[in-house]
Structure 1
Amino acid sequence: MTAPLSIQLYTLRDQIAADRDGTLTRLAEIGYRQVEAYDPTADPAGFRKLLDGLGVTVSSTHAYALFDKDAGEVFDAVATVGTDLAIIPGGIAHEEFTTLDGLQRTADLLNGFAAKAAERGIRIGYHNHWWEIEPRFEGRTGLEVLAGLLAPEVFLEVDTYWAQVGGADVPELLRTLGGKVLALHVKDGPGVKDEPHTAVGKGAIDVPSILAAAPEAQRIVELDTCATDIFEAVAESRAYLTALEEGLS
């Protein structure tokens, strides 16, 4: 593992809404030393100050806010929280991934964001779900086609769970995408839509094979939903991944 294990804070969105400071403190106590934010524009200075006090850094942030806020405001917030990686995790119609013209429009949109971000020393990434994986173009997933249309500086954050749900051989997909992949969302569960996730290592996903296929990518835990206690699940996920990475190294 090339960087400390991170966690997407959307995993604990309800707990953060109720008690941000207490939730982040508890994550630090569990052992997480990096986090991925989901809205950098929400009190960026206060968020950064709290994390600095906990000895926690921001690996990256999602930047859905680029669709409805001034880009300069968003990029200022990204810099304030302490990262230079801003990831688009949605906001593009699913249908755009079902045609070549739609994929080109999507690439143009992401490349446009990237050009603006580069002026501020920030890189733009894209995070997939299943709807970028299911469409096939001469045997290639929509995500693979999109990757070939993106500017060199635009990276991918591959959600490994949703890639499998979409029908991909995830290790093979990661090997194909290669260095375009800077980060992985690592999650586990039954591997179907509309079912809660589990702690990593407790579900049906072959996590070891997936991680071995992208050894340099940042690992980021994310559980969209969870039927068990969420703090226990993220603690179990960290313990499993830490032991697994030690075994792989």
Structure 2
Amino acid sequence: MQISVQLYSVREALARDFPGTMQRLADLGLTIAEPFHLVEHQHELAQAAQRTGITYPSAHQSFLGDVDFAPMLRAAGDLGVTHLIDPFWNPEDWKRADKVRSLARRMNERAEQAADAGITVGYHNHHFELASQLEGRSALELFAGELDERVVLEVDTYWAVVGGADITALLGALGDRVRLVHLKDGDLAEDPAGQLPLGEGRMPLEQTLSAARAAAYGVIEFDAYAGDIFEGIAASRAHLRQLQQRPEPAGI
């Protein structure tokens, strides 16, 4: 699993100084980042990639609504993005099975459109897709069961647990469709103010990593953090690298 960072974590710093913020991430040893608002930030991202060598194999962009998808695919292609992830959909729609199936059909249409551009599309969850239970399973699992095989999932492991999921069971049920995971820690409250660097909160991180073996990218993210965000990212990266270097227990 390669380590990335979701740039939403440093959104305030980016707004003040985009080039300087990207350089600080590179100075921490990060070589991969996951942008948000890909189209809006395309020019700055391209310049940052040239200066720092940071690449963007995945990116967030809202595309499931009634929007022009073509510019998004062009931006993704120009920046080397191979996994374009929609980060959010209306929580109310996850409470109804017919709405979830309709959303899956929309995602399948986007997957077909993206395939010609060599781009894979996917969805990133919050807590409400897991808190909603439909037909004996979570709304996210219902959604996954309706998806074309070309669609991937980026499981936000923290928000999945906040939503009531057993994260190892969920990752096992979703299987190889989970190609990316968001990794964060904290007090597991819906208020993101309690988020902490990896290893300092209540998330079962070792079990999560073991269950997420199909994921190519582990994306560090803070929705909020009371401390210095760059120090938090550095601590999270160091802890994650330490766990990755541990030998697996015999029999696993």
> TM-score, with normalisation over the residues of structure 1?
0.94
What SS is found at the alignment partner of 2:129?
coil
Matched, 1:125 2:122: yes
Look up the equivalent residue of 1:157 and give its one-letter code.
E
Partner of 2:244: 245
Q: How does 1:1-249 map onto structure 2 within 5 Å?
A: 1=1, 3=2, 5-64=3-62, 67=65, 69-90=67-88, 92-196=89-193, 197-217=195-215, 218-248=217-247
Instruction: Say whether the 8 Å CA contact 2:186–2:200 is kept in structure 1.
Output: yes
Q: CA deviation at 1:52?
A: 2.9
Q: CA deviation at 1:69?
A: 4.7
Q: CA deviation at 1:119?
A: 2.3
Instruction: Say whether the 8 Å CA contact 1:6–1:59 is kept in structure 2.
Output: no
- The number of residue pairs the alignment matches comes to 246
Q: CA deviation at 1:59?
A: 2.2
Identity %: 37
Q: CA deviation at 1:139?
A: 3.2
User: Distance in 1 between the 2:200 and 2:69 partners?
Assistant: 40
Q: CA deviation at 1:81?
A: 1.5
Instruction: Say whether the 8 Å CA contact 2:183–2:219 is kept in structure 1.
Output: yes
In the alignment, structure 1 segments of 5+ residues that lack a partner are: none
User: Distance in 1 between the 2:147 and 2:110 partners?
Assistant: 11
Deviations 1:76-128 (A, max 9, x none): 111111112100111x2212111210111110121122122112111110000
User: Distance in 2 between the 1:81 and 1:45 partners?
Assistant: 9
What SS is found at the alignment partner of 1:124?
strand
> TM-score, with normalisation over the residues of structure 2?
0.93
For residues 33 and 216 of structure 1, do their structure 2 counterparts lie closer, same or farther at Cα, with a shift above 3 Å needed? same
User: Distance in 1 between the 2:140 and 2:35 partners?
Assistant: 23
Where has structure 1 moved over 4 Å in runs of 4 or more?
A: none
Q: CA deviation at 1:248?
A: 4.5
Deviations 1:153-207 (A, max 9, x none): 0100000000000000001100111001000000001001114211111111111
Instruction: Say whether the 8 Å CA contact 2:185–2:198 is kept in structure 1.
Output: yes
For residues 67 and 17 of structure 1, do their structure 2 counterparts lie closer, same or farther at Cα, with a shift above 3 Å needed? farther
Q: CA deviation at 1:39?
A: 1.5
